[in-house]
Copies of this chain bind each other. A is one copy, B any other.
Amino acid sequence: MPKRVDHAERRTEIAEALLRVAGRRGLHAVGMRDVAAEAGVSLRLVQYYFETKEKLLLHGLQHLAERFGERVAARIRAAGGDPDPRATVEALLMASLPSDEESRTFHLVYTSYAVLAVTDRALAAQPFIRNPDAAEDALTGLLDRAREAGLARSDVDARLEAVSLLAMSAGLGTAVLAGQRTPESAAEVLRHHLDRIFPGGRPAEA
């Protein structure tokens, strides 16, 4: 048997190269040759691990969603876990704002995929469409539990506020990406609504 290579790992490397160049020059402008060059491999290799460009794009999207999920989870853990529901919610929302380079790339590429999915049925059928639903459910659960614990206003409709916050976060994120708004001002807007939902002022920092 010849040299055995960890296909999964190699595919991940190539997928990350795809995301890097997509974040730099836009998803519409990435070709297989660009991905190969960015990953430091030959064009043939990209073909070898992803037979077609469509499969490469699909895997890239999947990897992007995974990385984002981990990012959000890490932020939530860093926010202190259980003790403060509001901090958790805030961490969840802030994590998806394009503040640093990584989240900026994520937002750009994710939006590009969303646009493509509207006219491409193969992409539209992809499970990345489930991720927003998961976020909505998670946020709804957080708000509901905060309400039952008396930390959030008793008259809030958890699901509706969750949808609102996520939509706002997405819209603000796009505005930040387009340079129409700073990440700080976007964060302020979100915090204002958290103040509305969670009365009694913001919790003190750690």
Contacts and interface: CB of A to CB of B under 8 A. Distances in A.
Contact of A118 (B108, B133, B168, B170): B108
How many of these chains are in the complex?
A: 2
Interface residues of A, number: 41
A77 interface: no
Contacts of A193: 164
- What does DSSP make chain A's interface, helix, strand, loop or mixed? helix
Contacts of A111: 111, 114-115, 174
A189 B168 contact: no
B160 A170 contact: no
Contact of A115 (B115, B167, B181): B115
A168 B175 contact: no
- In order of increasing CB-CB distance, the 3 nearest A-B pairs are A167-B171, A171-B171, A170-B171
Interface of A: 24-29, 108, 111-112, 114-120, 124, 129, 132-133, 157, 160, 163-164, 166-172, 174-175, 177-181, 189, 192-193
